[in-house]
Amino acid sequence: MTVLGQRGVEALSLRELARDLGVSHAAPARHFADRQRLLQALAVEGFEQLAEEITRAIASTRELQGQARLVAAAYVAFSIEKANLVDVMFRHERANDDGVIGASAAKTFEPLLQLFHDGELHGVVPAGEAELTATVFLAAIQGISALVNCGVVTPETVPYLVSNAVPRFIASAENNSRDVRP
C-alpha cells in the first residue's frame, strides 16, 4: 500500500513490491500470481476499508439525511486521502477480474443502498427509486472526489458541496429516525 500511496499504480510491480519489503523477488509471486492479482487484492482491501468508513458514518446518527451527509463526507475524505487506492478500486479490468472486485464493491455499498431503501420507507426518497437514487448519489460523491483530486475543486469546498448535494437525494423529515444496526 505504501508504494501505491506514494507513487501510484503505475509504479506498482511485484519486483518493486519485493524490493520495498526487503524480500526476494520471488516472494510476492507466492501470494500473487501476477500484477493483476496484486491489484485485485489491493482493490478488495480498499473496498473493505471504505465499507468500514461507510458503516461507521451510518452508525453515528439515526437521522437519515445526517447519515447520507456523513457517508458522503467519509467517502470524499477517503477518496482524497487514498486517491491512488481509489484509482485501483475503480479502474480494474473486468475481463481479468473474476467478479471478485465487483462483488467486493457491491458488498461495500449495501449499507448505502439500505439507507436509501429506509429513506423510501420513511417518505424521504421517492417511492420505487431507492436504487436509482443511491446510484446517482454515489456517482455525485465520486464526482466530487474526482474534482478535488484533479484540482478543479479545492478540498475546502467539500463540506459545502456535500451539504448542498445531500438534500437533492434524500429529503429531510422530522420523524425519519430508524434503528441503527450493530
- The dihedral region occupied by 151, where left means phi > 0, alpha psi between -120 and 50, and beta the remainder, is left
Look-up: residue for cell 481509489?
A: 86
Global pTM reads: 0.79
Report pLDDT digits (tens) over 92-130: 665 566 788 889 999 999 999 999 999 999 999 999 999
- Phi then psi for 177, rounded to 5 degrees? -85, 160
Please give the domain boundaries of the chain with CATH numbers for all domains. Answer: 32-168 (1.10.357.10)
Cβ 117 vs Cβ 64: under 8 Å: no
Enter the C-alpha cell of residue 118: 429506509
Report pLDDT digits (tens) over 169-178: 998 765 444 4
pLDDT tens, N- to C-terminus, the chain (182 residues):
455 555 555 555 556 654 554 444 554 556 665 667 777 878 888 999 999 999 999 999 999 999 999 999 999 999 999 988 898 888 766 556 678 888 999 999 999 999 999 999 999 999 999 999 999 999 999 999 999 999 999 999 999 999 999 999 998 765 444 433 33
Q: Which amino acid is at 5?
A: G
Distance of CA 141 to the CA centre of its chain: 9
Cβ 67 vs Cβ 58: under 8 Å: yes
